[in-house]
């Protein structure tokens, strides 16, 4: 089936998931929506996030006839994916969640750090996930207020320098508050990136924590699950040759178009022509 796959996030963070989807599904077309006008979701109420999730899903179905939806936002997944599944039972849906179980498989010390937004960590879904692994490893969790917003702002030329300084400040503040990272007894040797935005500061985190600390994100697992669902439903694209990335990826934003264009060029190698302003009524 040649309809596109929909992907959305509160902002640019979901582009890290889109990177993995591109790699796993080279024949597919994608429509990505960044809800920058309302980012970050992690500092909004559950009700607000659910309303935005439903509005964006309706838009992607009605205007782009998507055949599957990837909710590339931990906060939106936690708040609303159960409602989406109830309302759209025929639509293949994939969400994201902090990769606690993959991190357990990697950790040698048994002590794992988790960073995420306040909204993700306050959710019932995260509480159930954390409860499911209790006793199997030690988890130190840290809500990182302001970090996703600073990463968003780092794509805007007029705010980039100040935003980068803020990112560095917040990374030092939050990782220091968590305790000691390293490979020694009781130290955290693995850090779960529980927000898709955080993938874009991996290099800074690695430099801060040291080369022996493993950083774990969810993009590749989400891409594998998306492919499995499409295969099971017989919805994989039938084109024999993969199109150029510029022909198969369209990106939309409810906010600042310059920021999305800068992010798309920096992280996906896409031109400004791939980016568009979303309709104001979403």
- pLDDT digit string, tens, across residues 217-251: 999 999 999 999 999 999 998 776 655 555 689 99
Q: What is the mean pLDDT of residues 265-275?
A: 93
Q: Which long-range contacts (CB under 8 A, 24 or more apart) does 198-206 make?
A: 198/13, 198/115, 198/144, 198/147, 198/148, 198/151, 199/13, 199/16, 200/12, 200/13, 200/15, 200/16, 200/151, 200/267, 201/147, 201/151, 201/167, 201/171, 204/167, 204/168, 204/171, 205/171, 205/175
Q: Which of 56, 195, 221, 251 is catalytic?
A: 195
Bridge partners of 250, per DSSP, are 31
Please indicate whether residue 73 is annotated as part of the active site: yes
Q: What is the pLDDT of residue 3?
A: 94
158 or 95, greater pLDDT: 95
Q: What is the mean pLDDT of residues 119-146?
A: 96
Q: What is the pLDDT of residue 122?
A: 94
Q: What is the pLDDT of residue 243?
A: 57
Reduce the DSSP state of residue 134 to 3 states and report it. Answer: strand
Domains of the chain, start order: 5-96+219-277 (3.40.50.1860), 100-216 (3.40.50.1860)
Q: Which of 39, 68, 73, 150 is catalytic?
A: 73
Q: By mean pLDDT, which of 107-116, 126-135, 136-145, 241-250 is the weakest?
A: 241-250
pLDDT above 70 coverage of the chain, percent:
97
Indicate yes or no: pTM above 0.75. Answer: yes
Q: What is the pLDDT of residue 246?
A: 53
Q: What is the mean pLDDT of residues 73-81?
A: 96
């Amino acid at each position: 089936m040649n309809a596109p796959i929909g992907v959305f996030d509160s902002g640019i963070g979901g582009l890290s998931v889109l990177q993995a989807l591109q790699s796993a599904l080279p024949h597919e077309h994608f429509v990505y929506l960044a809800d920058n006008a309302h980012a970050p979701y992690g500092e909004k109420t559950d009700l607000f996030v659910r309303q935005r999730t439903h509005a964006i899903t309706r838009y992607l179905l009605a205007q782009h006839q998507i055949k599957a939806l990837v909710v590339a936002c931990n906060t939106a997944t936690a708040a609303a994916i159960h409602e989406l599944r109830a309302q759209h039972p025929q639509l293949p849906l994939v969400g994201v969640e902090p990769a606690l179980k993959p991190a357990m498989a990697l950790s040698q010390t048994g002590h794992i750090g988790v960073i995420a937004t306040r909204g993700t960590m306050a959710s019932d879904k995260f509480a159930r996930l954390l409860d499911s692994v209790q006793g199997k490893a030690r988890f130190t969790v840290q809500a990182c207020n302001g970090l996703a917003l600073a990463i968003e702002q780092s794509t805007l030329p007029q705010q980039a320098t100040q935003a980068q300084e803020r990112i560095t400040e917040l990374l030092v503040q939050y990782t220091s508050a968590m305790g000691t990272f390293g490979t020694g007894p009781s130290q955290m040797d693995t850090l779960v990136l529980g927000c898709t935005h955080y993938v874009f500061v991996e290099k800074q985190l690695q430099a801060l924590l040291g080369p022996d600390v493993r950083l774990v994100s969810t993009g590749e697992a989400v891409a594998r699950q998306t492919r499995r669902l499409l295969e099971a439903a017989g919805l994989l694209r039938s084109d024999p040759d993969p199109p150029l990335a510029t022909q198969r990826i369209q990106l939309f934003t409810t906010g600042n178009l310059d920021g999305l264009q800068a992010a798309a060029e920096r992280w996906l190698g896409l031109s400004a022509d791939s980016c568009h302003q979303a309709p104001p009524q979403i």
